[in-house]
Structure 1
Amino acid sequence: MNKIAIIGAGLVGSLQAIYMARKGFEVSIYERRSDIRDAKLVAGRSINLALSDRGWKALKGAGISDEIEKIAIPMKGRMVHDVEGNQSFQPYGFDDQAIYSVSRGELNKQLLIKADEYPNVQFFFNQQVKDIDLNTNALKIQDLHTKEASEKAYDRIIGTDGAFSAVRLRLMKTDKFNFSQKYLEHGYKELHIPANADGTHKLDKHSLHIWPRGQFMLIALPNIDGSFTLTLFFPYDGEVSFNSLDTDEKVMDFFQKTFPDTLPLIPDLLKDYNENPTASLVTVRCSPWHYQDKICLMGDASHAIVPFYGQGMNSGFEDCTVFNDLFEQDDWEWDQVFSQFSAKRAPEADAISELALRNYVEMRDLTANEQWLLQKKIERKITT
């Protein structure tokens, strides 16, 4: 039996573990953080996610889609809020076509629970990968609690450890490995719209709400508890920016002038704004995604993208689908699986990355542009 180490127990790592376990491989998952199943989820640390058809396909293939449907809310279009508080709905498609809002933390929990059901899956939390011996394929690991160092060799290593991947860092020291990363001049901060007293949503729960304002915007995605996760995408520097809003008075004045209809919805605006971290937005590209028949990168470790196309998680989940479909070939070999996966997915991920960057302009600028709205209506009309 092939012994496989998966580095990173996030969304892609936990889903890939399920796929590998279902194929009978012995799977060890190493995660630098503590087990999120034991922790209360903390607001302010991640964007809500939009699950699309490609993501659902991967979840169905792993036999977990029914569980995820219970924590997902369908969003059938964008609800655009202008400065005067007027709202206009822009459907994503026809009839019941929708994307689904889901909490990153809750989704990750469900994937970990599912992976843990397999007897051939082991978890190792609070374990940091310090290095990889490419000759023996041995992980050099440090326990972050005890500081004890250890080393263990595996037949294959799959790096799903995010945009700042330790596995990718090791591959960057190999010959002909290409890598780039680029940060946006904008960051994001999470805010919170609580539920009504009766547990209902304060806004239409079947819409992705957008407040487009040119160089910045707010978006809100519904949660199953009646609340909304509200995210401010905003420049770091400039006349109107995170750095310029440095007092409570400036924050309140900015929201009063720019997003006036949100003020009654966010009772803890100042608390959220001051206490929740400002996070950066980075695009990562690299190639190839594999090293011989030993190591392969997936998800953000190989192709981190900005969140404006709603496809970061979906693209990572599609990695799992494509990777595992390659085992359906007759007489497959690991080097063949790794090389074909890298050759197929890298160009597709680059294309999605470009679309994500373009969609940021669309979301913050064009969703409030009358000519663009007319164009979209015509496109929907002629494709019926």
Structure 2
Amino acid sequence: GNGPAMMLNLKEDEIYPLDADLVIGADGAFSMVRNSMMKTDQFNYSQSYETHGYKELTIPPDEVNGSFLIEKNALHIWPRKNFMLIALPNLDGSFTVTLFAPYKGEGGLDSITGEAELITYFKTYFPDVLPIMPTLAYDFFNNPTGSLVTVKCFPWVVGNNMLIGDAAHAIVPFYGQGMNCGFEDCSVLDELIEAHNHDWSAILPAYQQSRKPNADGIADLALLNFVEMRDLVADPEFLFKRKIAAKVSEVYPDRFIPVYSMVSFSHHPYAEALKEYTRQDEVLTDVLKMPGIEEKWATEYLPQIAERLFNL
């Protein structure tokens, strides 16, 4: 609505009304601004939790010289079909390790009730990493179990209230794009302020029309990437498709960008990248049916494969 915003002063512990021309709700996945907008007519909202949760764990640096204990220039994934462990390097020589697993069932977090069960779990599923995780038990039982939620809503603008960032579009973390998507909201908003000469009656509708399809796009891509990371990276057919796409990109960098690079290293809209995901996968699935593809893909077949994949 257009009434005054209610402000909470945490220092003084008091609530007071504040009149503002515009209220920008940048208050996260569980936004109170969005909450108040939800009470208005025709406001669509969905929140969807995954059946998986996650635990943050650690691989410390080498005790002797502070170096990395595993390859530092990589995203490490231990895929186990329905669950996975990942490790990302930090500047201090350590790795942030995250276990993504279902709450219940095979590999479920509910099976880990004490230290003995935790060690058994890691010996069973991730034996190679156990020796380099001395603080495993402490980390597991002291760090909270995080949940994975996707929030979608529309409109993002109601009266003089607008949503931005996670308040408008919380996503799961499997593309590493949540914060980037929020920053992109800001840069698009900044461009629109200039293009419409500070006329907010034009800026706000243009902002939500421009950003909503892209926020939905990265939300869907992030969920697809979860399946890729925990399951498909262990699938030879998937890896072969990746290899072909990487080669085409290397030989024809001006004509083809694989979806992951498009999302992570370019300014292509997320909605476009989602369409490309489907298109590229269909082309590559078809390519694998070519006779003798295993022997001929990088030589005889490469130009015609590339021709079908080109997207620029």
Distance 2:56 2:196 in 1: 48
Residue 41 of structure 2 is aligned to residue 175 of structure 1: yes
Q: 1:300 aligns with which of 151, 158, 166?
A: 166
1:275 matches 2:142: yes
Mapping of 1:11-160 within 5 angstroms? 134-136=1-3, 138-160=4-26
CA contact (8 A) 2:193 2:200 kept: no
2:214 corresponds to which residue? 348
CA contact (8 A) 2:7 2:15 kept: yes
Map of 2:107 onto structure 1: 240
Higher helix share: 2
Larger CA Rg, structure 1 vs 2: 2
Equivalent position amino acid for 1:275 in 2: N
Distance 1:189 1:341 in 2: 36
- Between the aligned partners of 1:322 and 1:239, the Cα distance in structure 2 is 43
Give a deviation string over 1:333-362, Cα, whole Å, max 9, x none: 112111101011001111111111111110
Shift of 1:381: 1.6
* 1:205 and 2:66 correspond: no
Aligned-pair distance for 1:156?
Answer: 1.2
1:218-233, aligned counterparts within 5 Å? 218-233=85-100
Q: Identify unmatched segments of 5+ residues in structure 1.
A: 1-133
Q: Secondary structure at the match of 1:261?
A: coil
Per-residue CA shift, 1:127-156, capped at 9, x if unaligned? xxxxxxx334x2212334543222222221
- 2:62 is equivalent to residue 191 of structure 1: no
For 1:308, what is the secondary structure of its paired residue?
coil
Q: What CA RMSD, in Å, does the superposition of the two structures yield over aligned residues?
A: 1.4
Q: CA deviation at 1:202?
A: 1.3
Distance (whole Å) between structure 2 residues aligned to residue 288 and residue 152 of structure 1:
23
1:166 to 23, 28, 32: 32
1:207 Cα offset (Å): 0.9
Please list the CA deviations of residues 145-194 of structure 1 after superposition, one character each: whole Å capped at 9, or x if unmatched. 54322222222111111110000001001111110000000011100111
Deviations 1:18-77 (A, max 9, x none): xxxxxxxxxxxxxxxxxxxxxxxxxxxxxxxxxxxxxxxxxxxxxxxxxxxxxxxxxxxx
Between the aligned residues of both structures, percent identity stands at 50
Does the CA contact (< 8 Å) of 2:55 and 2:146 recur in 1? yes
Aligned partners of 2:155 and 2:208 also within 8 Å: yes
Which of 216, 219, 231 lines up with 2:83 in the alignment?
Answer: 216
The one of 228, 238, 244 aligned to 1:362: 228
Counterpart-to-counterpart distance in 2, 1:219 and 1:188: 11
Q: In proportion to residue count, which structure has more strand? A: 1
What do the CA deviations read for 1:104-136 (whole angstroms, capped 9, x no partner)?
xxxxxxxxxxxxxxxxxxxxxxxxxxxxxx334
Structure 1: which amino acid aligns with 2:83? F
| Alpha-carbon distance in 1 for matches of 2:106, 2:79 | 18
Choose the corresponding residue for 2:203, options 329, 337, 344.
337
Letter in 2 for 1:243: D
* Other-structure match for 2:184: 318
Q: CA deviation at 1:330?
A: 4.7
Measured in 2, the distance between the counterparts of 1:328 and 1:318 equals 16
Distance 1:321 1:135 in 2: 26
Number of residue pairs aligned between Structure 1 and Structure 2: 249
Greater relative CO, 1 or 2 (CA 8 Å, sep 6+): 1
* Counterpart Cα distance in 2 of 1:276 and 1:370: 35
